[in-house]
Amino acid sequence: MSQLATENGTFREERSAEIVNARHEGCADPRLAQIISALVFHLHAFVKEVHLTQPEWQAGIDFLTTAGQMCSGERQEFILLSDVLGLSMLVDAINHRRPDVATENTVLGPFHVDGAPQRQMGETICLDGKGESCRFEGRILDLAGAPIEGARIDVWSDNAEGFYDVQQPDVQPKWNNRGVFVTDSTGAYSFLGIKPVSYPIPDDGPVGRLLAALGRHPYRPAHMHYLITAPGYEPLVTHTFVGDDQYLGSDAVFGVKASLIAPFERMPSGPVIWHSSFDFVLNPLT
Amino acid sequence: MSQLATENGTFREERSAEIVNARHEGCADPRLAQIISALVFHLHAFVKEVHLTQPEWQAGIDFLTTAGQMCSGERQEFILLSDVLGLSMLVDAINHRRPDVATENTVLGPFHVDGAPQRQMGETICLDGKGESCRFEGRILDLAGAPIEGARIDVWSDNAEGFYDVQQPDVQPKWNNRGVFVTDSTGAYSFLGIKPVSYPIPDDGPVGRLLAALGRHPYRPAHMHYLITAPGYEPLVTHTFVGDDQYLGSDAVFGVKASLIAPFERMPSGPVIWHSSFDFVLNPLT
């Protein structure tokens, strides 16, 4: 065998990524080849940049193995990992670029449930009677500021103790702090809930231990979830954030965008304690 | 809260990696912060470069989850993943940079076993009587070409059917195709084994399916493993590769280095069919 032939495909540190990626030239799925080749390029660059040692590589293997063994029907440790590295938000962002005037997306999160009951405008979604009551209201608008009729507003939040109903099926009423509202020709929405509270992501696994080792806390700042759909418009998956939350600048999953921080104002009197007004602007489908 | 304060730490696509990594500035373990920050930088660059879609992100999460659930005491799917992406070889390479004259490292692989029996020079390691016999011989040398006395040569290979003894404990004799030899003042070694054969890495999991989707085969070219130690020298973990193997230019785990391809010559007569001569040059400890 000639020297040229034997060296073809053999490993050399300085061309390591190119040598690996040359194997993908015959791939029948060009998009897969593109993704894996870019991943190889960046992972090799990472290893070279930090001069990863073999014990550090082994620690990485052990981390992934422990994370995989933590995954179950109720727990997704790799999504948590993606979240705390800012990757979930980045993937969301690059796939939802919109005109400046349109409301920005943020992550859906693991606690959305299809099928929440549709309620009349103004009704409450808080069924356990806990927490500080808050009226949420505003309008669903198009890019020109005109109201959108027939917009479907699916909202959900944690309860006053920081848990979603699905995390406490034996404690909370079913559909607690969830509801669906549909706009009329004014585009206006209004419902009663509670001022949301901050809560930690699940931190009893390898991702929680990584956060601790990095000196990071596991908390998400308080937020209300919205999934807003209307015929002819791009679905909007977003939150509004409580403007005075202590974790607003350090969300464990990087979900906060400055444009999504909403005013929460204390009411001067009456049974409802808080008031939060926020208009959502939908982007038309192209 | 001021606009400046609220925007501090909130997410923006164009500065996504910097925003994540700003959280690691207070980390008590600067090496951990360095590694995670470099990983975040490169993973964000990867996502942006390929414009990863949400279904593709989900496919990545599913891949990692399936790989994690495949791991057991006998199976390490994440090491396989590292292997087929060339990362294991890269980590080995950057941690074992040596003078040109010294023999290069390659991966240890999962089949080394401590405690193989020490044999007399010239003895056979093949206990199952299968395969084409081959005499392996050469010398253990220092950088100046002088023989090293007392070098310990731990060798292992698959059998003629492509399996290591530990993969077939009920089929193969214990320590089949394994042995330890110690050099005298000549630095010479010699043992009888078989001409190794190529074999596939475990390909019945997600890594095997990825290789298939990429149009890559799962085979490793035939090789003999060596772990050579001597007082005062850096341990050498390497293989010699059979020079006419069809997979020499396409090793599934990128273990082949051009300098490790050995001659395997057919003997003109006599009971031993093949002969392979290779000198190993050890790097002194610094």
Whether residues B20 and A67 touch (CB distance < 8 A) is answered with no
Within 8 A of A87 by CB-CB distance, chain B residues are: 43-44, 47, 57
Minimum-distance CB partner of A42 among B42, B95, B261: B42
Between residues 195 and 224 of chain B, which touch chain A (CB distance below 8 Å)? 210, 213-216
Looking at residue A209, what is its pLDDT?
A: 98
pTM over 0.90: yes
Token pair in block for residue A253:
């999953």
Residue A286 lies in a domain: no
For residue B1, the one-letter residue type is: M
Whether A19 and A141 map to the same domain: the answer is no
Q: CB B213 to CB A40 under 8 A?
A: no
Looking at the fold, whether A135 and A10 belong to one and the same domain comes out as: no
What is residue A73's predicted lDDT score, i.e. its pLDDT? Answer: 84
Picking from A82, A49, A48, the residue whose alpha carbon sits closest to that of residue A67 is: A82
Does an H or E element contain A75, and which?
none
Does residue B75 form part of some domain? Answer: no
User: Residues of chain B with pLDDT > 90: what percent?
Assistant: 92
Q: Where are the alpha helices (DSSP H) in chain A?
A: 3-7, 16-21, 30-50, 54-70, 77-84, 87-94, 206-213
pLDDT of A26 above 90: no
Q: Do A215 and B27 touch (CB under 8 A)?
A: yes
Q: Are residues B47 and B106 in the same domain?
A: no
- The span from the CA of B251 to the CA of B107, in Å, is 12
- Domain of residue B5 covers 1-52
Residue B136 lies in a domain: yes
User: Which DSSP category does A24 fall into?
Assistant: G
Q: In which band, very low, low, confident or very high, does the pLDDT at B7 lie, cut at 50, 70 and 90?
A: low
Question: Cβ neighbours of residue B276 under 8 Å, at least 6 residues apart?
Answer: B134, B135, B136, B137, B195, B224, B240, B242, B262, B263, B264, B265
In a domain, A65, yes or no: no
Same domain, yes or no, for B137 and B270?
A: yes
Q: Residue B54: pLDDT above 90?
A: yes
Q: Do B45 and B166 belong to one domain?
A: no
Question: Which residue has tokens 């980590």?
Answer: B91
Give the pLDDT confidence of B240-277 residue by residue, as tens digits: 999 989 999 999 999 999 999 999 999 999 899 999 99
A266 and A145 within one domain: yes
CATH number, residue B179: 2.60.130.10
- How many other C-beta atoms lie within 10 A of the C-beta of residue A28? 9
Tokens of A63: 């981390």
Domain shared by A47 and A107, yes or no:
no
A92 domain residue, yes or no: no
**Encoding tokens for residue B187?**
């630095």
What is the per-residue pLDDT for B76? 93
Q: What is the pLDDT of residues A113-150, one digit of tens each?
A: 999 999 999 999 999 999 999 999 999 999 999 999 99
Whether residue B140 sits in one domain with residue B234: yes
* Domain stops at, among A37, A52, A67: A52
Tokens coding A39: 């991943």
**Which segments of B95-198 does DSSP mark as H helices, in order?**
none
Q: Are residues B106 and B46 in the same domain?
A: no
Q: Are A207 and A77 in contact (CB under 8 A)?
A: yes
**Is A52 in Cβ contact with B94 (below 8 Å)?**
yes
Positive or negative, the CA dihedral A184, A185, A191, A196 is positive
- The reported pLDDT for the residue numbered B90 is 98
Say whether both B13 and B123 belong to one domain.
no
Q: Which of B12, B37, B52 is the last residue of a domain?
A: B52
Q: Has residue B61 been placed in a domain?
A: no
A78, part of any domain: no
User: Do A185 and A124 have their domain in common?
Assistant: yes
Do B234 and B135 lie in one domain? The reply is yes
Does residue B266 fall inside a structural domain?
Answer: yes
Amino acid at A266: R
Closest among B180, B50, B187 to A42, alpha carbons compared: B50
Domain count, chain A: 2
Q: Does residue B19 register a pLDDT over 50? A: yes
Alpha carbon of B84: minimum distance to chain A alpha carbons (Å): 8
**Confidence band, pLDDT 50/70/90 cuts, at residue A2:** very low
User: DSSP strand E in B113-151: where?
Assistant: 133-141
Of A38, A45, A82, nearest to B50 by CB-CB distance is A38
Cβ pair A243:B47 closer than 8 A: no
**Contact at 8 Å (CB) between A92 and A106?**
yes
For residue B103, name the pLDDT band (cuts at 50, 70, 90): very high
* pLDDT-derived band at A7, boundaries 50, 70, 90: low
